[in-house]
């Protein structure tokens, strides 16, 4: 034990020295002179990332050791450390390195040329003890179950922890899978599918850092509570270039304030909505009921239906997005109006042979039209500039417009701009269908370009080869530094880090995307995600049995074959590491009712505490909930009350998806079951959040699927 403590103390000394070195270089790079601003920014960002990586690995820096049959020792940890004085010999292997793989996959049957696996138990920087597993001995287990069970039985903290020290063989195979397309990981509650997906991201960033680092990784989760729950996993593994969003966050700046009915969500999630959006845009490309007069200095011209129809056909035929096609529409209308005006003004004296006079008159008319508020108003009436929100909001709040677009009546709502998560893919689609809503202002760009060219000219003059200059002309270092500073001054640098830049940019593309609770995503949601990752590199996590969205997936192929035919693979997880057998038996009865034939995951442990139920009256319910909260407040770990709307202090099942708690109280399961066609799936989710203790309070008759619960007259402590 003493030698192990000394070795690990030496690792921490190396970590501290490396931190100090990076900090010095970081401070130096901030004030560096004589280098371009862009090069300086690149160096500063790289060092900032390295500082983050080194700052988060204190806890459990080294968690294991491998002893080979030849007598060599390898220490395994969160990051790699090297002995610079001895040819960069590794003193700590990164858990993702190929040489570390036997730590996770070696068994008594297949020891991978290893003799022993040692697991350290630490608190902070201190080694408390360790457990050994010797391979090949009679009766040797396939894995160090003691370490695993200690981890799954430990009280839950505020967020999800990593499993880097207890990754199981089936999980390791998925984490290291070499597949360039879409990987679907499906597993029931407690199988660790989310944490496996996050460790896979860390592995990909380690093995493909150069390809992935510049664009980052996107992680999509069902709600903010879930994202907060998982947000510590990747930083604890030394990875920070990851953007966490919900589906409603995929359009920057959108604030979701409402929730759709299941019928509206189903309609918006279907690809048929694309026809509705196209028709809604076409409906805003109008023809005048009466000719629109445009008064010019010497003549009044009119935009009639025939002219507008010709211009509309040409604009639509251009294939450009709506706002960009407005230029085509305007060009045709302008041509017709100027021809008519010239014909009237020049009648009797102007012929086409008089080319100069003709062009001068046309030029004057074009200037008049460009300055005419009447003409601009007419264009806005016939071919308005639209934004996604200015199109979709009025569409959803107008039964007339919905009918004109061929939309389902269920889409109508009183407040068109009470945005929902299901609106996100529609607004994102409209960004491309409409195009930019403001003409590009090139004046600022041209001014910057001129300044940069001037600065470059200064640099060229001041850096002329001395052989070509007069011998009396001497350049000082200050001259050259001034020239570079002058050039840098005209170059705009974005000082935000990758996560900030990516999250604010709708057009940002990622090298890899993780989608959790993917069974909830609609066909339209997948279109948004595919735009965000053109190379189609995804880790998809879900459980079809837990689907609650009416627009969600009924099979993985129905969502993925359209985009990645033949490029997606499926890997199941069947072992439940979270939910004890006593609780899973109850949840399994609910699963059998709404998803017959679906096998629940097999729990690796029992907790020794029977889940209970208690019938209460409406008056007794608040006190019973308070009693549960009070009892759990005196225990280590986390707890939650889950129930339907209106239950005081309860959160809905949908808000707990992917989360885990030591103790769970499910209130009024009969109302959860009756809440809709997916009520049974909601109840299944609620029951499987507990890792130790489960209680149920019911006012009405206990649902048949929960008949296995032990009925209690009082809440009990264990």
Q: In the chain, what percentage of residues exceed pLDDT 90?
A: 53
Q: Calculate mean pLDDT across residues 370-391.
A: 96
Q: Is 617 annotated as a binding residue?
A: no
542, 189 Cβ separation under 8 angstroms: no
Is the model's pLDDT at 392 over the cut of 70?
yes
Is the model's pLDDT at 469 over the cut of 60?
no
Q: Is 187 annotated as a binding residue?
A: yes
CA distance 622 to 379: 62
Reported confidence tier of residue 334, pLDDT bands at 50, 70, 90:
very high
Is the model's pLDDT at 311 over the cut of 80?
yes
In three-state secondary structure terms, 407 is: coil
Reported confidence tier of residue 265, pLDDT bands at 50, 70, 90:
very high
Angle, vertex CA 128, rays to CA 124 and CA 129, nearest 5: 140
- Using a 10 angstrom Cβ sphere, with 0-12 exposed, 13-18 middle and 19 or more buried, the burial of residue 414 is exposed
Residue 20 token pair: 């100090």
Q: Is 191 annotated as a binding residue?
A: yes
Q: Is 193 annotated as a binding residue?
A: yes
Is the model's pLDDT at 426 over the cut of 60?
yes
DSSP secondary structure code for residue 160 in this structure: P
Residue 157 token pair: 């903290």
Q: Calculate mean pLDDT across residues 246-269.
A: 94
What was the pLDDT predicted at 161? 61
Q: Calculate mean pLDDT across residues 452-461.
A: 50
Higher pLDDT, 701 or 717: 701
Fold matches, 182-248+508-573 and 581-711? yes
Instruction: Give a three-class secondary structure readout of 574-591.
Output: CEECCCCHHHHHHHHHHH
Q: Is 637 annotated as a binding residue?
A: no
Residue 294 token pair: 């445009």
Q: Is 194 annotated as a binding residue?
A: yes
Is the model's pLDDT at 128 over the cut of 90?
no
What was the pLDDT predicted at 473? 43
508-523 pLDDT, tens digit each = 999 999 999 999 999 9
Q: Is 155 annotated as a binding residue?
A: no
CA distance 165 to 473: 67
Reported confidence tier of residue 347, pLDDT bands at 50, 70, 90:
low
- For 581-711, the fitting CATH number among 1.10.275.10, 3.90.79.10, 3.40.190.10, 3.40.50.300 is 3.40.50.300
DSSP secondary structure code for residue 473 in this structure: -
644-696 pLDDT, tens digit each = 998 988 999 988 988 889 999 999 999 999 987 788 999 999 999 999 999 99
CB atoms within 10 A of CB 512: 22
What was the pLDDT predicted at 135? 80
Is the model's pLDDT at 197 over the cut of 90?
yes
Q: In the chain, what percentage of residues exceed pLDDT 70?
A: 85
Which has the minimum average pLDDT: 70-84, 222-236, 348-362, 402-416?
Answer: 348-362
Predicted TM-score of the model (pTM): 0.80
Most confidently modeled range among 36-40, 104-108, 153-157, 492-496: 104-108
Question: Per-residue DSSP letters for 531-556?
Answer: HH-TT--EEEEE-GGG---TTS-SSH
Q: Calculate mean pLDDT across residues 150-161.
A: 59
For the range 80-87, what are the long-range contacts, defined as Cβ-Cβ under 8 Å and sequence gap of 24 or more? 81/11, 81/14, 81/15, 81/18
Domain locations in the chain as residue ranges = 1-154, 182-248+508-573, 263-434, 442-490, 581-711
Superfamily grouping for domain 182-248+508-573: P-loop containing nucleotide triphosphate hydrolases (3.40.50.300)
Q: Calculate mean pLDDT across residues 396-410.
A: 97
Higher pLDDT, 142 or 320: 320
Is the model's pLDDT at 570 over the cut of 60?
yes
Q: Is 188 annotated as a binding residue?
A: yes
Strand partners, 603: 576
Q: What is the mean pLDDT of the chain?
A: 85
What was the pLDDT predicted at 475? 44
Is the model's pLDDT at 87 over the cut of 90?
no
CA distance 15 to 34: 31
Is the model's pLDDT at 136 over the cut of 70?
no
């Amino acid at each position: 034990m003493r030698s192990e403590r000394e070795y690990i103390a030496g690792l921490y000394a190396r970590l501290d020295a490396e931190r100090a070195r990076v900090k010095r270089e970081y401070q130096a790079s901030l004030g560096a002179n004589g280098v371009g601003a862009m090069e300086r920014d690149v160096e500063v960002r790289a060092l900032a990332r390295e500082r983050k990586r080194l700052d988060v690995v204190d806890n459990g820096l080294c968690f294991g050791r491998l002893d080979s049959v030849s007598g060599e020792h390898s220490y395994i940890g969160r990051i790699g450390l090297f002995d610079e004085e001895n040819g960069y010999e590794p003193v700590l292997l990164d858990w993702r390195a190929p040489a570390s793989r036997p730590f996770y996959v070696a068994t008594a049957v297949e020891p991978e040329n290893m003799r022993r696996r040692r697991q350290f138990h630490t608190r902070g920087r201190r080694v408390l003890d360790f457990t050994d597993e010797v391979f090949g001995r009679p009766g040797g287990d396939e894995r160090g179950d003691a370490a695993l069970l200690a981890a799954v039985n430990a009280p839950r903290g505020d967020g999800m922890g990593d499993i880097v020290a207890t990754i199981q063989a089936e999980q390791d195979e998925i984490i290291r899978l070499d597949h360039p397309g879409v990987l679907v990981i499906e597993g029931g509650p407690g199988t660790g599918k989310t944490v496996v997906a996050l460790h896979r991201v860390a592995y990909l960033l380690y093995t493909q850092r150069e390809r992935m680092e510049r664009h980052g990784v996107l992680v999509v989760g069902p709600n903010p509570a879930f994202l907060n729950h998982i947000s510590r996993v990747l930083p604890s593994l030394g990875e920070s270039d990851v953007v966490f969003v919900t589906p409603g966050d995929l359009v920057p700046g959108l604030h979701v304030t409402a929730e759709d009915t299941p019928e509206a969500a189903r309609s918006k999630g279907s690809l048929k909505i694309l026809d509705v959006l196209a028709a809604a845009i076409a409906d805003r490309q109008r023809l005048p009921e009466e000719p629109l007069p445009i008064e010019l200095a010497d003549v009044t011209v009119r935009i009639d239906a025939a002219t507008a129809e010709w211009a509309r056909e040409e604009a639509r035929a251009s294939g450009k997005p709506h706002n960009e096609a407005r230029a085509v529409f305007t060009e045709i209308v302008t041509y017709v109006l100027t021809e008519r005006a010239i014909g009237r003004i020049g009648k009797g004296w102007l012929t086409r042979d008089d080319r100069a006079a003709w062009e001068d008159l046309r030029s004057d008319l074009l200037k008049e039209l460009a300055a005419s508020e009447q003409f601009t108003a007419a264009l806005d009436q016939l071919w308005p500039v639209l934004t996604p929100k200015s199109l979709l909001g009025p569409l959803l709040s107008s039964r007339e417009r919905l009918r004109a677009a061929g939309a389902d009546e269920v889409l109508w709502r009183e407040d068109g701009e009470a945005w929902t998560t299901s609106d996100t893919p529609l607004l994102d689609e409209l960004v491309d269908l409409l195009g930019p809503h403001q003409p590009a202002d090139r004046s600022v760009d041209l001014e910057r370009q001129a300044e940069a060219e001037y600065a470059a000219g200064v640099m060229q003059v001041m850096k002329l080869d001395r052989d070509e200059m007069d011998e009396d002309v001497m350049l000082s270092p200050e001259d050259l530094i001034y020239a570079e500073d002058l050039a840098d001054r005209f170059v705009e640098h974005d000082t935000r880090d990758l996560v900030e830049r990516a999250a604010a940019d709708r057009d940002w593309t990622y090298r890899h995307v993780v989608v959790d609770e993917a069974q909830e995503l609609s066909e339209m949601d997948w279109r948004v995600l595919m735009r965000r990752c053109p190379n189609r590199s995804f880790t998809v996590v879900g459980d079809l049995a837990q689907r609650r969205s009416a627009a969600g997936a009924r099979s993985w192929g129905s969502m993925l074959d359209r985009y990645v035919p033949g490029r997606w693979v499926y890997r199941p997880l069947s072992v439940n590491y979270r939910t004890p057998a006593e609780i899973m038996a109850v949840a399994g009865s609910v699963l059998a009712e709404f998803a017959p034939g679906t096998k629940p995951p097999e729990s690796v442990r029992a907790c020794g505490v029977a889940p209970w139920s208690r019938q209460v009256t409406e008056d007794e319910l608040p006190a019973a909930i308070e009693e549960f909260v009070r009892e759990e407040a005196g225990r280590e770990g986390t707890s939650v009350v889950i129930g339907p709307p209106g239950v005081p202090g309860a959160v809905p099942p949908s808000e707990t998806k992917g989360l885990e708690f030591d103790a769970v109280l499910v209130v009024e399961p009969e109302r959860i079951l009756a809440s809709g066609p997916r009520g049974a799936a909601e109840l299944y989710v609620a029951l499987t959040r507990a890792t130790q203790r489960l209680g149920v309070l019911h006012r009405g008759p206990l649902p048949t699927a929960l008949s296995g619960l032990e009925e209690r007259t009082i809440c009990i402590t264990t």
